[in-house]
Structure 1
Amino acid sequence: MFDRPSGGDAAVLVSVDFGDSGYEESLQELRQLAITAGMDIRATIEGKRPKPDAKYFVGSGKADELAESLKSHEAQVAVFNHDLSPSQQRNLERLLESRVVDRTGLILDIFAQRAQSHEGKLQVELAQLEHLSTRLVRGWTHLERQKGGIGVRGGPGETQLELDRRMLRIRVKQLREKLAKLKQQRGMQRRSRKRSLVMSVSLVGYTNAGKSTLFNRLTQSGVYAADQLFATLDTTSRKLYIPDGGPVVLSDTVGFIKHLPHALVEAFGATLEEAVQADLLLHVVDAASPVRDDQIAQVNKVLEEIGAEHVHQVLVLNQIDRAGLEPGLERDEYGRICRIRISAKTGEGLELVRQCLREHQQMLFAHQLETSSPDVVPT
């Protein structure tokens, strides 16, 4: 397995500007990710290039500068704000004589640290193995040694690399089967809620937008919430009752981020299924963020990727206390609430969220009663 960064590692960050928009915000996000992973940031190496270098990603001159920076700052790991190819990562590790972690590897490490539930741990392990599978290509000299024997050790002449790949495939298959069973269980629970006319609502949004704080406010729960990236990984569901309405199952999902690794999106499919099958999505946005429009676009991109673009969505502009906005709501051309301004921290505007849930609940129930079978009865 790869060496993963551990808490307290001294790190040098590396970021290359290829002329894309949002470079500074992406670099700041990398710093937050490194801090979230428990790293001690010693220095940042930046550069500009028209395209990545095939061998070192940053070019030989910048790679030498990085090597000197690692040595002078006594840092153990170089953290790249980009995804590296397996060969680029190996070439850099040989040149730098230090560990090299790309953006995907860093996010996977954070997820591994934060996953608490059995399902969450399975999902993270699957994502890590999917990422590792692309790195099992002559990565170490011991992989070139021939191993004979039978059974677990492999057949005659089977290389260690082939054995590693085979064991990895077996474990990936086991994880997929376990997650498929959990997904089936979730499906049964959702069908039970549908029969009871219980509306399902999922909180989605960019990481650190305040989803868990809003979740705690609405449900009076104690879900962990902090001013850091990926404070919550495991989907948590609670039932709440809307005044003059009925029961609602509210789910707090994992936060999204720019360039969210595809392996994570795929691995967390069972969890993100809550968003796909929801009756309503509350898209929580940090109203005070200067790049909130870009963050909204990133979240919608992931929602489309997982097949949740068809679910009705209400934009919840959170942290209005920091943005200098007043609580309020806006409606679309059909009279439905489409945007709400709140502060989950202070509680301002929460009654508007409940009003939104109540109105959507009434519309949903009216539609379901028209189309439901005779055995469907309200709770």
Structure 2
Amino acid sequence: MDRHAPSTRCAVITPQLSKRAARAGSDRRSPEARLEEAVGLAAAIDLDVVFKGLVLLSEVKPATYLGSGKVEEIAGIVQAEEVGLVFVDAALSPVQQRNLEKAWSAKVVDRTALILEIFGSRARTKEGTLQVELAHLNYQRSRLVRSWTHLERQRGGFGFLGGPGETQIEADRRQIGERILRIERDLEQVKRTRALHRTSRKRVPYPVAALVGYTNAGKSTLFNRLTRAEVMAQDLLFATLDPTLRAVDLPHGTRVILSDTVGFISELPTQLVAAFRATLEEVIEADVILHVRDISHPDTEAQAADVRDVLTELGVDPEAGGRVVEVWNKIDLLPEDERDRMVNTAARADATDRPTLVSALTGEGADGLLDRIESLITAGRVMLTVTLPAEDGEGLGWLYRIGEVMEREIGEDGLMRASLRILPERVDLVKRRFGAAQVRTEV
């Protein structure tokens, strides 16, 4: 979108089904919070929101999703406010979208289309661009139906379904299908490359800590705080799309790879869940998962539940103490009494499940979080002291590759003693390489 052009005037409509008609789990957050999130989605793509409203529904209408009275009412608002685009925060069928566009004389997009547009504007790497295009194409393919406006003029002819219009649909579908296959092949190559990178990191070996969380929870700001990097961090939904990796040295010398990932969101379009699975492989493979929560948000519990749902879909147990850590971010925004309550709640929690409180913006709690990451990653590792000739650079390099060398010194006898932390299953490798007599296990 051209940032110098005037922003499109937009109306945001959030349909709210009655509790009787609503899907299970869809009432985690209040209607007002859903509307504000929808406005945030529109703002993330630079739309000028001139009207926002909740529409209560007893049932979904097959033709227009909304009832006829509401459709007419919104048509008046669209005309009065000179709205060029209406964002309906729901999953619209092609027929519903087309009928609403006719009724309102404005472009209509649903939740899937808007999120796809946001992701398209955020993608920077080849992988991110391919994934967005794949999701777009799958969405377009689902919309190739006879009700498309541009095919209406071609419906006469022969056969049971009618002539040239169907031929055009099939041609469009074939072209989209061919492009999807090409992108999937390209993504498979990207996936193999990422797998090779992960394999090489395991040989180093650097453990991985992945940041996950609801979109706009402050992951990128925290990532920047911990790594002193300059990843895009804005008060926008989906400010980060492509995964970013940086090496971080923890307080006692352990080096880890920190991974910043795309933000999760409720009711993420199915096309994106499939297309972005490769991006989230960093999460699946991570040694530690940091679930970053905006603890100041009124819907923080609902957002956390949505993140846990996605982790479960990825095969990660969100309750796995020792691997998944909740990071309660933005404590600087809490009133003092609420902040004290959060501190007490965290202090009473079991040690393995205890959340870590931070402010990514001010840096408060960041050192404690790094200590927590280090304690989790090094839990179960063994400390060894290996004695080797001072000139054995090859042997020392080997130790660096298979463990974490904490310190080394050369004694008066001319021998080097290297202290390292290592996985228990690698102790025998060290003993075979240098001889058991040269390896001492620290208690």
Distance change >3 Å, CA 157–CA 263, structure 1 → 2: closer
CA RMSD of aligned residues (A): 2.5
C-alpha displacement of 1:284:
0.3
Q: What is the alpha-carbon distance in structure 2 between the residues aligned to residue 376 and residue 107 of structure 1?
A: 51
Q: Does 1:251 align with 2:269?
A: no
- Whole-Å Cα distance in 1 between the matches of residues 128 and 70 of structure 2? 38
Distance 2:271 2:181 in 1: 15
CA deviation map 1:88-128 (0-9, x unaligned): 11221222222110111111111111111111111111111
Task: Report whether the alignment pairs 1:104 with 2:112.
Answer: yes
Matched residues in 2 for 1:157 and 1:261: separation? Answer: 29
Output the CA distance in 2 between the equivalents of 1:373 and 1:186.
Answer: 29
CA deviation vs aligned residue, 1:320-345 (integer Å, no higher than 9, x gap): 11124269665865x43631001111
CA contact (8 A) 1:235 1:271 kept: yes
Paired amino acid for 2:252: D
Out of 107, 128, 133, the position equivalent to 1:125 is 133
TM-score relative to the length of structure 1: 0.89
Q: Which amino acid aligns with 1:140?
A: T
Instruction: Tell me the amino acid that sits aligned with residue 8 of structure 1.
Output: S
Q: Identify the residue that residue 153 of structure 1 maps to in structure 2.
A: none
Larger Rg: 2
| Partners of 1:86 and 1:135 within 8 A in 2 | yes
Matched with 1:316 is 327
Asked whether 1:92 is paired with 2:108, we answer no
How many correspondences in the alignment?
A: 362
SS at match of 2:279: helix
Deviation at 1:368, TM superposition (A): 7.0
Taking a change above 3 Å as real, the CA distance of residues 19 and 373 of structure 1, as seen in their structure-2 partners, is farther
* Separation (CA, whole Å) in 1 of partners of 2:113 and 2:264: 16
Structure 1 residues 184 and 349, CA, compared in 2 at 3 Å: closer, same or farther? same
- Deviation string, structure 1 residues 358-378 (Cα, Å, up to 9, x no partner): 10121164597223596699x
Partner of 1:149: none
Q: 1:194-209 counterparts in 2 under 5 A?
A: 194-209=202-217
1:159 match: secondary structure: helix
Q: Does 1:339 align with 2:393?
A: no
Q: 1:178 to 1:322 in 2, by over 3 A?
A: same
Corresponding position: 1:64 with 2:72: yes
Contact 1:144 1:161 in 2 (8 A): no
Map 1:16-165 onto structure 2 (within 5 A): 16-20=15-19, 21=27, 22-138=30-146, 139-142=148-151, 145=154, 159-165=167-173
Counterparts of 1:207-222 in structure 2, within 5 Å, are 207-222=215-230
List runs of 5+ in structure 2 lacking aligned partners.
Answer: 20-26, 156-163, 383-420, 432-443
8 Å CA contact 1:276–1:307 kept in 2: the answer is yes
2 CA distance for matches of 1:141 and 1:47? 30
Which deviations, in whole Å up to 9, do the C-alpha atoms of 1:270-319 show, x marking residues without a partner? 11111011111000001111111100000111111222336620000001
**Structure 1 residues 338 and 197, CA gap change in structure 2 (3 angstroms):** farther
Q: Which ranges in structure 1 are unaligned for 5 or more consecutive residues?
A: 1-5, 147-155
Paired position in structure 2 for 1:241: 249
Match of 1:355 in 2: 371
Q: Shift of residue 47 of structure 1?
A: 2.2
1:302 aligns with 2:310: yes
Query: Whole-Å Cα distance in 2 between the matches of residues 373 and 160 of structure 1?
Result: 66
Deviations 1:148-172, CA, capped at 9 Å, x for gaps: xxxxxxxx99711100000001111
How far off its partner does 1:197 sit?
A: 2.7
Q: Structure 2: how far apart are the matches of 1:376 and 1:101?
A: 61
Letter in 1 for 2:17: F
1:290 aligns with 2:298: yes
Whole-Å separation in 1 of the counterparts to 2:380 and 2:253: 11
Structure 2 letter corresponding to 1:159? T
Query: Is it true that 1:370 corresponds to 2:386 in the alignment?
Result: no
The 3 A distance-change label for structure 1 pair 76 and 364 is farther
User: How many percent identity over aligned positions?
Assistant: 40
Deviation of residue 245 (structure 1)? Answer: 3.6
Contact preservation (8 Å) 1:245, 1:362: no
1:197 alignment partner, SS class: coil
Counterpart AA for 1:292: T
3-state SS of the aligned residue for 1:270?
coil
Equivalence for 1:14: 13
Counterpart code for 1:104: T
Q: Is the 8 A contact 2:288 2:377 kept in 1?
A: no
Change (3 A) 1:244 1:318: same
* Contact map agreement 1:196 1:376 (CA 8 A) in 2: no
The CA deviation at 1:143 is 7.1
Between 287-296 and 305-314, the greater mean CA deviation after superposition: 305-314
Correspondence list, 1:266-277, <5 A: 266-277=274-285
